[in-house]
Structure 1
Amino acid sequence: MSKFFYGIEDLFVNYLFAPYDFFRFMENWWSSNSVNWIFFVIGFVAMIYWMKELKLFNDRGEEDKSISSHSYL
């Protein structure tokens, strides 16, 4: 069973996280964390899009706001 967990360790350390070793030795904090900032920007854009879509549904009145819309309420 230990070989299974060593195999998982080898997969992640030597293959999947290998591109992050490039960022580890950079001198600049901004370039080291560029991947995190890219994910942050993507998440922020997705949140803005989702809020805009929720507002459109609310303005059109398509959401069922009645108390009996769910049986458990």
Structure 2
Amino acid sequence: MSWKGFFEGIQSFFEEVAFAPFEALRSMELSSWWGANVMSWLFLLIGFVAFIYWMRELKAINERGEEDRSQTSHSYLG
């Protein structure tokens, strides 16, 4: 097996297997705006849920007082 064959195998995998769902979405693009943007909505939803989770964790840490808020908490600040 040569390096060329190795890289052609990677190309074949991604073109025919890994990106198959995106090809299906691209074929749906002209028929429905919602269908064409389903991945964008999915990523937006994941980001929103992660943001809410992170804000709740920060609030819980703040309420427990675990964070050192003094000005010299880091050596480069003092």
Normalising TM by the smaller chain, what interval?
A: 0.7 to 0.9
Residues 3 and 72 of structure 1: CA distance in aligned 2, closer, same or farther (over 3 Å): farther
Residue number in structure 1 paired with 2:55: 51
Aligned residues: 73
Find the structure with the greater CA-based Rg.
Answer: 2
Fraction of identical pairs, as percent: 53
Q: CA RMSD in A?
A: 1.8
Residue number in structure 1 paired with 2:10: 8
Stretches of 4+ aligned residues off by more than 2 angstroms = 64-73
Deviation for aligned residue 1:67: 5.0
Separation (CA, whole Å) in 2 of partners of 1:57 and 1:8:
45
Residue number in structure 2 paired with 1:21: 23
Separation (CA, whole Å) in 1 of partners of 2:5 and 2:76:
48
Deviation for aligned residue 1:15: 0.5
Report whether the alignment pairs 1:37 with 2:41: yes
Gap runs ≥5 in structure 1: none
Gap runs ≥5 in structure 2: none
